[in-house]
Amino acid sequence: MTSVHDWAAPNPVSTNRSGLIGKPVDRYEGPLKVTGTAPYAYEVQPPSPPAYGVMIGAEIATGRLTGADIAEAEAAPGVLAVWTHFNVPAQPPRGAKAHPRSTAGSNPALENDKVAYFGQPVAFVVADTLENAVSASHLVKLTYAAETPDVDFRARLEDAGQPPGEQDVEIGDFASGFTAAEVQLDETWSTPIQNHCQMEPCATLAWWEGEKCIVHTSIQMVKPAQHGLAETLGIGRDDVHLLTRYIGGGFGGKGGTYDDLALAALAARALGRPVKVAFTRQQMMNATIHRPATVQRVRLGAKKDGTLDAFSMMTWTHCNRNGNFTEHASNFARALYAAPNRLTGHRLVRLDLPVAGPMRAPGEASGTMSLECAMDELAEKLGLDPVELRIKNEPPVDPENGRPFSMRQMVRCLKEGAQLFGWDRRLPTPGLVRDGRWLVGMGMAAAIRGNFLLPAKCGFSVEPDGTIVVRQGMTDIGTGTYTVLAQIAAETLGVPLGQVRVEIGDSEMPPAPGSGGQFGAATAGSAALMAGMNLRKAIAALAVGDPGSPLHGGSPDEVTFQDGVVAISNRSETLSDLIQRAAPAGIAVEGEIRPAADAREWSTQTYGAHYVEVGVDPITGEVRVRRMLGVFAAGRIINAKTARSQLTGGMIWGAASALTEANPVDVRYGSLLNQDLAQYLVPVQADIGEVEAIILDEVDDKANPMGIKGVGELGNSGAGAAVANAVYNACGVRVRDYPISPDKLLAGLIAQGM
């Protein structure tokens, strides 16, 4: 297996001869998206007129579906099929694998009479038009045997248990260290359920070509979706051709599959025609995954000089009755600050709620909302500047496992952010700065997010006209995958960007893990680099071995690639001339990346520091974000524009977590109260002031051959805590139950006599 030391040698990306790496290149697919011609899953044109499917969600949170009167719906205009678990086509049991190496098992739709959560699809109507399907869906009469739902997370905290296979992590003796500490802090924070709110809902279009199912769907991970659908349909994996070319946002919410995928494919097979199925916005709230709520207890024990002696962060969270997903909100803290006595862990409560799952920066987004506020509270107790306290507790090695950091620029992020933001103008005593009626405050927080490299492959080919074609079963959920792959290919093969064609999102292409976890660019890009290097070698060997080439007889190692020309010293020809003459059918190769054998010898993270200025209206409790600045260190940046977009998007999301986003549970029915974007409050343009992301120069050659890490989730880590700390600095009120809504803030202001 590869060693990280094999990655340190110069390569076309590191030498960047054409200057394409790091450049703020416009999005590869941008013109298609802004002109409305990028075909998302629901918009793909099938080979014949499609039918339209509509799912019907359960109106209870737990119990059984006891009856279904579908006669009136079946007789409605245009209706082609009405299914419940009583008559849905047979599917293998959940989790079954006919092929043992499938990356996902069967995921049957409408599988039985059990209702596990409010909004669970329990019936399905297909008609010739969407309007007819929707109309007929209102004619389906369902009866239930309802049970009392167990959905009150806070009421069940004492019943929480450790997640399966997990143990608390303790180093030293936390209890003794905390008791003996000169200064102590022991506080609890809570974060609410949040929804992903992607612009594009989950949707699928399916049709059959003989025994093969063709399916266009909105999904982040190609291979698990292909394999899972094949197992659900009871067919071979190669008999499912799954495509997901354009995705209107994922954020983790499209990391798995939902019933739209299975139902579209089953109905298309049963009816012998294409079928489209899409979730409504209301169904997206209850019937797809959400970020679970948490309760987090943070205990910090320190010397009077600010040195941490004891550190603990424990998280309580919830999942669906049949699930195991755990919001690992304590994990990030294990690598953040030094302390000899440490205790971290998680507790899980199973409830009759919709399925919980990963949402942008799972763990860090929720966890930093407590720890990074706790550090500010400790700094106030100690009379220290919050930046100074964090720098004082900067660890020389990973504080949990003792591994050296592959590269860590946390202190530089903190210091440069403070200087650029004007942190020295902050007054530590709350409530002293006014701008008219507004109380103005500053806050900051540290950011950290793990770095991952997963196995991936990529195909490169060169066509007779010199076009470089990239093919990979990767996805682009709006993060810029198309663009960075084009940049890597163009730089590696020395051709203009316009000479590169990127084809991704196809199960028949070389597999990649997909988009998620901030591993996309590092993983897909490293595989692309390997494929590009293999194609360089093939082209160089072709040139020096071709008697008709000016490069004939030279050494392949001396061949250079730039501006669409291959050369050795002053001998050159265009790439297109070489291929047309010597390889008229083109050349195709593959490349592969796997984690290095010694990768676990290093602690590899991404880092940042957030600085925020807010205004608080003491009369209404309104908070306005005036300025946000983030300084980040995340390895080599391939595209400055898309990276900055990801970071600022995450920062805005952090502000939303602090101030607006929440979806309470109606404990009577087990449903989420906010079921559309009118009630679920995400920030709009007027809510966010000036936002800037600064990216430090960094190449982490121990992370992967590209020296890059990832930025998709880093911007969301710590941003909310910086907002909360700024609110406190503005008005002196600490709200530890997020979001910091006007009613909570007003209660605090009134309590202190304002």
**Strand pairing of 623-633 and 688-695?**
parallel
Task: Say how far apart CA 240 and CA 138 lie, in whole Å.
Answer: 33
> Is the CB of residue 273 less than 8 Å from the CB of residue 217?
no
Number of CB atoms found within 10 A of residue 236's CB: 12
Nearest alpha-carbon partner for 140 in 247, 204, 221, 59: 59
d(CA 298, CA 282): 36
Within a 10 A sphere around the Cβ of 387, how many other Cβ atoms?
21
- The residues, ordered by sequence, that sit 6+ positions from 19 with a Cβ below 8 Å of its Cβ are none
Closest CA to 240 of 102, 124, 47, 142: 102
CA distance 628 to 31: 30
At 65, the amino acid letter reads: L
What is the chain's Cα-based Rg?
Answer: 27
Contact 558, 498 (CB under 8 A): no
Tell which residue, 600, 595, 578, has the closest CA to residue 466: 578
| CA-based nearest residue to 674, from 661, 688, 657 | 661
**Reduced 3-state DSSP string for 415-471:** HHHHHHHCHHHCCCCCCCCEECCEEEEEEEEEEEEECCCCCEEEEEEECCCCCEEEE
Burial class (CB in 10 A: 0-12, 13-18, 19+), 556: middle
Picking from 455, 474, 471, the residue whose alpha carbon sits closest to that of residue 516 is 474
Amino acid, single-letter form, for residue 49 = P
Give yes or no for a cis peptide into 395 (omega within 30° of 0).
Answer: no
Choosing from 29, 661, 698, 713, the catalytic residue is 713
Residue 713 annotated as catalytic:
yes
Q: Are strands 308-320 and 294-302 parallel, antiparallel or unpaired?
A: antiparallel
Distance between start and end Cα atoms, the chain? 64
> What is the C-alpha separation between 721 and 611, in angstroms, rounded?
10
Q: Which residue has the tokens 């976890």?
A: 517
Instruction: Give the single-character DSSP code of 403.
Output: P
Estimate to the nearest angstrom the gap between the alpha carbon of 94 and the chain centroid.
Answer: 26
Work out the angle at residue 238's Cα, subtended by the Cα atoms of residues 530 and 288, and round it to the nearest 5 degrees.
Answer: 85
Dihedrals phi, psi of 639, to nearest 5 degrees: -135, 110
Question: Residue 227 phi/psi, 5° resolution?
Answer: -65, -45
Q: Tell me how long the chain is.
A: 754
What's the rounded Cα separation, in Å, for the pair 555 and 728? 66
Which residues are CB-contacts of 238 (< 8 A; sequence separation ≥ 6)? none
Q: Which residues pair with 539 in a beta bridge?
A: none
DSSP 110: S
User: Can you read off the two tokens belonging to residue 335?
Assistant: 């690598």
Q: Any idea which residues carry the catalytic annotation?
A: 713
